[in-house]
């Protein structure tokens, strides 16, 4: 077979299986397709934003098996067999505690960074339900906002911490941060 006919490894489409917001999904893509592009184009989940495209701004933040990840730096082959939670996956019947805090504390201005910031806070509070202000700043270090000056974002984080401590809201209910993807039969 001629090399030109075969195409390079990165150009051949393959089937990838993953769980996205609790739903088993299959997608045919090149292995080097970015998860952010798959989420937006194949799954029509546009809450995950694309800004820098090089993992520096956090606008594309998702939970990958419950851990914070930059979707623009995660390739299709790396997401294969894993669970992804996007901003759309946080909401059940009502807004998630992190989403509510952003709304009530004015944690956004233009809103472009808000999905990534919200996911980053979700990951932070999942690991540490009572983070210090310094922990919050460190947890958000990979997420940039050009509008707010971070005051509203910090107020949102402090609101989450306060509500978790008071028991006012049911902990952080991480049942929407889905585990490993199930096997999908052809």
pLDDT digits (tens, 9 = 90+) for 39-63: 999 999 999 999 999 999 999 999 9
Q: Would you say 47 and 85 are in contact if contact means Cβ atoms under 8 Å apart?
A: no
**What are the tens digits of pLDDT across the range 96-133?**
999 999 999 999 889 999 999 999 999 999 999 999 99
Q: Where in the chain is the domain with CATH 3.10.20.30?
A: 13-89
Q: Answer whether residue 160 shows pLDDT above 90.
A: yes
Rounded to two decimals, the pTM is: 0.84
Q: Give, in order, the Cα–Cα distances in Å from 109 to each of 9, 59, 80, 112, 171.
A: 43, 14, 35, 8, 27
- Parallel, antiparallel or unpaired: strands 61-64 and 67-70: antiparallel
Two tokens, residue 185: 């039969």
Domain over 13-89 is classified CATH 3.10.20.30: yes
Q: Which CATH number fits domain 97-166: 1.10.390.10, 3.55.10.10, 1.10.150.120, 3.30.230.10?
A: 1.10.150.120
Q: What is the mean pLDDT of residues 155-166?
A: 95
Q: Give, in order, the Cα–Cα distances in Å from 22 to each of 25, 59, 70, 98.
A: 9, 21, 19, 19
Task: Name the one residue in this structure whose structure tokens are 């233009």.
Answer: 110
pLDDT of the residue at 185: 41
Q: How many residues are recorded in the chain?
A: 186
Q: Where in the chain is the domain with CATH 1.10.150.120?
A: 97-166
Q: How many Cα atoms are found within 13 Å in the side-chain-facing hemisphere of 118?
A: 28
């Amino acid at each position: 077979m001629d090399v030109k006919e075969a195409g390079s490894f990165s150009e051949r489409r393959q089937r990838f299986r993953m769980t996205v917001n609790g739903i088993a999904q299959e997608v045919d893509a090149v292995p080097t397709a970015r998860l952010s592009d798959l989420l937006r184009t194949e799954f029509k989940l546009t809450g995950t934003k694309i800004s820098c495209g090089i993992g520096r701004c956090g606008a594309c933040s998702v939970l990958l098996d419950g851990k914070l990840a930059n979707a623009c730096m995660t390739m299709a082959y790396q997401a294969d067999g894993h669970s992804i939670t996007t901003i759309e996956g946080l909401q059940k019947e009502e807004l998630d505690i992190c989403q509510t805090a952003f709304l009530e504390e004015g944690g956004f201005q233009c809103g472009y960074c808000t999905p990534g910031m919200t996911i980053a806070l979700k990951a932070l509070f999942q690991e540490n339900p009572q983070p210090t202000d310094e922990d919050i700043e460190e947890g958000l270090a990979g997420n940039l906002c050009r509008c707010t000056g971070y005051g509203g974002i910090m107020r949102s984080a402090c609101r989450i911490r306060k509500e978790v401590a008071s028991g006012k809201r049911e902990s952080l209910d991480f049942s929407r941060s889905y585990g490993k993807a199930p096997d999908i039969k052809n």
